[in-house]
Chain A
Amino acid sequence: MNEFVRPSDLDRPNSYIGRSVPRPNIRKLVEGRGRYVDDITLPRMLNVAFVRSPHAHARIVSIDGAAAKAMPGVIRVLTGKDLAEICDPWVAVLAHLKGMKSAPQHAIAVEKACWQGEAVVAVVATSRAIAEDALAHVHVDYEPLPAVLDMETAMDAKTPIIHPELGDNLTFQREHVQGDVEAAFTASYKVVEATFHTGRHTGVCLEPRSILADFNRADGQLTVYHSTQAPHMMQGVLAKHLRLNEGDVRVICGDVGGSFGIKVHVYPDEVAACAIAKLLGRPVKFIADRFESMTTDIHARDHRITGRMGVDKDGRITAMDIDDRTGIGPYSVYPRTSAIEGNQVVNLCGGPYDFANYRAKTTVVLQNKTPTCQYRAVGHPIATAVTEGLMDLAAEAAGLDPVEIRRRNFMKDGTYPRVSPSGMKFEGLSHEACLEKLLDLMDYPALRAEQAELRKQGIHRGIGIASFIELTNPSPFMYGIGGARISAQDGCTVRMDPDGSIVAMSGVTEQGQGTEAILAQIVAEGVGVSMDRVKIITGDTQVTPYGGGTWASRGAGIGGEAALQAAIELKRNILGVAGAMLQADPQSLDIAMGEITDKATGQSRMPLAELGRIVYFRGDTLPKDLSRELMVTKHYITKEYPFAFTNGIQASWLEVDTDTGMVTLLKHWCVEDCGRIINPMLVDEQVRGGVVQGIGGALYEHCIYDDQGQLTTTSLADYMVPMAAEMPDIIVGHVETPTKESLLGAKGAGEAGTAGAPAVIMNAINDALSPFKARVAAMPFTPMRILEALGKV
C-alpha cells in the first residue's frame, strides 16, 4: 500500500493501526486527575451568573441592577445594551442554504427575550454563590408577548412574527425533486403513508457548558479555557465579535466532559463571559448549572415528518415523498445554523436504497423555545426512522419479510461509486454485506421462531431492523462554501525530540472518543516507535496546526490522515539523516521500535536517541547541506467527495408489556462499515455509546413545553436519560470498506449508533404490537403512548 506504512499488516513491529490498545489518556481520568474547565482557578478570577428570562417571549421594559450591585462581592451588573457596546451581534445563515434568514443575536438580550432561559442580565461577582445571591436583587420589568410555540401554525397569518424585520417566521425551506414522484405513485402496486414525530431532546453532557476567559490588557491577549469541540472556530468567532485579531485570541481546550455536538456551537452567555473578561481585564468563569443546561444548551430533533413510499409487486421502491417540518427556536444558531438538520433529512432519506423517484421538502420555522442545532448524528436518526418506518409498512403491504424487502432494495455492493436520488455521492458502501453479517450475529430465523412461540403465551416481543448511511469526513461543502469560517482541513505537526521521543500536535480534539489514542497509534506506526514514546497535544490554538476540531465524525478520517502523512514525512527525514550518519542509502534503512534498522535484515543500526543527539547537539558533524528537519507539519482535506459516507445496519430485540406499555430492551446489534478501523475497541465503544444515546431519544428523552412556552423538563429528575439497568448488551460487528481518498482509509464512526437506534426501536415495538394492529410513530415511545396505540387509555 505504501513503502512506509501498510495499515492492514499487523505482524510488523510497532504496527498499531488496527489494534485494540488502551487510550494513553484514560488513566488520568480514572484517577480523577483530568483537568476540566471548572477545575481551573486563576488569580483574581470572577464568576458570572445570568438573570434569565422567565418568559418565552417578552419585551424588556426596564432593568434595575442597583440593589444587586450594592451587595458585597458583586463587581458589576451588565445588561444587553452594555455588552452590545463591546461585542457585535451575529446572524447565523449559510449562503448555500438558499433564501435562509435569521435575526441578529446578541450576547445578552437587548430589546426582547425570545425564549425562557435567554440571558437578560449578567452579574459578575467574586464567587458563583454571591453572583447567584445577587440575581434575586436584579429587578427586570417585562412586558410579556404572545409566544409562538407550535411549529405547524408558526406561519399562519394570525401567528405573531417573532422578528418583524424578517417578514415571517420561516427561516429556511428547501425542496428537492428527482424523477416523477406522482406518476410513480400512480403506477405503484402499493403506496404507504405515515406521519412521524421525533421528540425535541438535548445532549445532557455530564459536564455542563464551561468557559473561563482571561484578558491581559498589557499584551492585548484573550486566553479562553473552553469546553469545546472546535477551538479554532471559537478563536475566529471571539476575535471577530470582540474586535480582536485572531492572533490575540488563544483558545485552550483541556478535558471535555462530553459534547455530542452540544459544544460545537456559539453560545451567547459564553461570548458574554469573554466580553466581560475583556471589559474588566480579569479572568471570568461561567459554568452552566443543570437548569441552564436544559434551557440553553441547544435542543435538537423537533421534527414532524410525513412520508409516503410506493412499491411495485416485487416490493421494489418506486418513489418516496417526504415532507419535513421543524421548529428551531427564535434564532438560527451561530455559525453552523439551525437549518442543517432539516437539510440533512432531505439529503439522507432513502439513503441505503436503489430507487429513482424522490421528492423531499423541509420547512424550518422559528418559535419561542430553546434554539435547536446540530446534535450527534444530525438529521440521521430522523431520516432513518422515517425511511425504515416506511420500509416496514411497505413490507407489510407487499407481504414481504422486513429483511427481504431491504435485501431487494439495497444499492448493491460492488456497484459504486454512485449517486443517490437526493444527490449524495457514495464512494463505496456495503449494505448487503452488513445485512448478512447482522443476520448471522442475531440468528434471525431462530429469533423469529422464538417470537412466534412466545406470542402464543401472551408475551409480545418484537424485532426491528434498520439500515442507514452516515455522513462523515465533511469537506468545505458542509459549511465553508456557505461562508462559515469552519475549517474542513486539519493539520498535524510531528516532532522528534533529542531522546527519540515523538510529540504530535493536532488540530482535532478529544472529548472522550479516543482521538488522542488513535493519533498516537497512527504516529507511532508512521514513524516507527513504541506508542508509549508518542505524546499527543490537542486543543490549543496557539500550539497546534489550524484545524476544524472534532465533529461530524472527522477526527480519525481527516485528523488521522494528517497525522499519518506528517509521521511518514518525519520518518523520511530521519532516515535521510541516518543515511548520512551510517553512510548508507536511506532507502535501505527503516525505523522499528525506536531503532534505525537495516530494512533487509531488521538488524538494529542505531537508536533514535543517538540520531537526536547528533542533530540537536552535534550538528557540526553532519554534512553542511544535509537537511535535518525533525519537525514536520502536514495538512489534509478531502477533495474527491463532499463527504465520506459510511453505512450500517442495526437490530433490536425487545419486549412490550401490553398491560403497562413498558418496553424492555433485550438485545441490540449493530454492524457498521467505517472503512479502515484504527482501534476496534474504540470503534465498538463509539457505536455502543451512540446506540444508547439513540435509545434515549426513542424511549425517554423529551424536552416538554407547556402552553406558555415554559420548559417543564429542567432537571434530571424530570428529563429521563438511559440508565445502566434499562440498557441491553450491544453486539457490534464490522465490515471494512476503506476510503481510497486517503492512505489511512478511515471514515468516521462516531454517529452510526445514534443514526440507527431510534428507527430499530420503533420498528421493534411496532413488530411486537403487530398482533393488535397498533402502531407508534411519535418519539419518545413512552408507556402512555404505547397504551394509547393499543387503545387502552
Chain B
Amino acid sequence: MSAALTRRYVDVALTVNSEPVSRRVEPRMHLIDFLRTELGLTGSHAGCEHGVCGACTVRVNGQIMRGCLVLAAQLDGAVVETVEGLSDTGEIRDLQEAFVAHNAAQCGFCTPGMLIAAADLCMHQPDASRVAIREHISGNYCRCTGYQAIVDAVETTLTGRRGSLS
C-alpha cells in the first residue's frame, strides 16, 4: 500500500460496550485491530486474519461478525459488543459459568469468540440439539478441547435457560 494512501484517514464515532468512542482511523484498519490497539480491548483475538478461525468474533449491531473482515471505517454509528462488555453486563454469565464448570476452555484463545458465537445460538435457537450446537460453532476453531466440553457447556446453558423460563 502506498504511503499516500495510508495517510488518508476516516473519522468514526460508534458505541463499544455501551461507551461512545470516536477515533480517526486508517481506512484499512480492521475492527479487531481497532478494538485491540485503539481501545485496548484485548479480549477479542486475531487468530488467522482471513475470516476462518472465528477467534475475533464480536457482535456488531446485534449480529455476530468476524472482527478481521470488518473495517473500522465502516462502523460509524454502529453498536459493537465484545466479551468484555458482555461480561460486565452479565448477559452471558450463565454461559461463562457453564464453560468454567465443563472446562470448555483450555488455552482460552478461541474462547471469547466461541462465547459470542454460542451466545448467538442461545438467543436464536433456544431448543438447539447437540448436532445443531456443533453445526453453529463450526465457524469457530478450537485446537485444545476437541469441542465436546464446549458442546456440553452450551447444552447446559440452553437447558438452564429453558428451566428458568418454565
Contact = CB atoms under 8 A, between A and B. Distances in A.
Given A26-B108, A716-B50, A727-B134, A721 B143 contact: yes
Interface in B25-50: 26, 28, 36-37, 41-50
Contacts of A512: 105-108, 144
Contact of B6 (A33, A133, A689): A133
Interface in A509-523: 511-514
B146 interface: yes
B47 A32 contact: no
A552 interface: no
A384 interface: no
A693 B141 CA distance: 12
Residue with the highest number of chain B CB atoms closer than 10 Å, among A31, A36, A717: A31
Interface stretch (A147-155, A273-281, A680-688): A680-688
Interface string A18-57: 0000110011111111111011010000000000000000
A144 to B, nearest CB: 28
Interface in B43-66: 43-50, 52-53, 55
Contact of B142 (A27, A32, A206, A682): A206
A258 B106 CA distance: 8
A204 interface: yes
A665 to B, nearest CB: 11
A688 B151 CA distance: 13
B8 to A, nearest CB: 14
Contact of B145 (A36, A511, A689): A689
A727 B141 contact: no
A254 to B, nearest CB: 11
A130 B37 CA distance: 14
Size bin of chain B's contact surface: 35 or more
B83 interface: yes
Contacts of A206: 45, 47, 53, 55, 107, 109-110, 141-143
B157 interface: no
Interface in A281-301: 289-290
Contact of B105 (A29, A133, A715, A723): A29
A22 B100 contact: yes
Interface in A713-766: 715-717, 721-727, 729-730, 753
A257 B107 contact: yes
Given A206-B53, A688-B146, A723 B138 contact: yes
A31 B47 contact: no
A688 B102 CA distance: 13
A205 interface: yes
Nearest to B133: A724
Main SS at interface, chain B: loop
Contacts of A207: 45, 47, 107, 109
Interface in B140-166: 140-151
Interface in A229-268: 255-260
B100 A255 contact: no
Nearest to B85: A32
Residue of B115, B146, B147, B150 with most partner-chain A CB within 10 A: B146
B48 A71 contact: no
Contact of A724 (B52, B83, B143, B151): B151
A691 interface: yes
B110 A685 contact: no
B147 A682 contact: no
B3 A256 contact: no
A36 B47 CA distance: 12
A646 B120 CA distance: 42
A290 B143 contact: no
Contacts of B133: 724
A692 B143 CA distance: 8
B52 A715 contact: yes
B48 A724 contact: no
A727 B52 contact: no
A729 B46 CA distance: 28
A732 to B, nearest CB: 10
B11 interface: no
Contacts of A257: 45, 107-109
Nearest to A28: B108
A133 B5 CA distance: 11
Contact of B52 (A203, A256, A688, A716): A716
Given A258-B143, A258-B144, A290-B49, A22 B103 contact: yes
A26 B105 contact: yes
B131 to A, nearest CB: 8
- Top 10 closest A-B pairs, CB basis? A32-B43, A29-B108, A257-B109, A512-B106, A512-B107, A692-B146, A32-B83, A39-B42, A716-B52, A688-B146
Interface of A: 22-23, 26-36, 38-39, 41, 71-72, 129-130, 133, 203-208, 255-260, 289-290, 511-514, 681-682, 685, 688-693, 715-717, 721-727, 729-730, 753
Given A32-B111, A688-B146, 14 more contacts: A30-B100, A30-B105, A30-B108, A31-B87, A32-B83, A130-B6, A133-B3, A206-B45, A206-B143, A256-B107, A258-B107, A260-B143, A727-B146, A730-B148
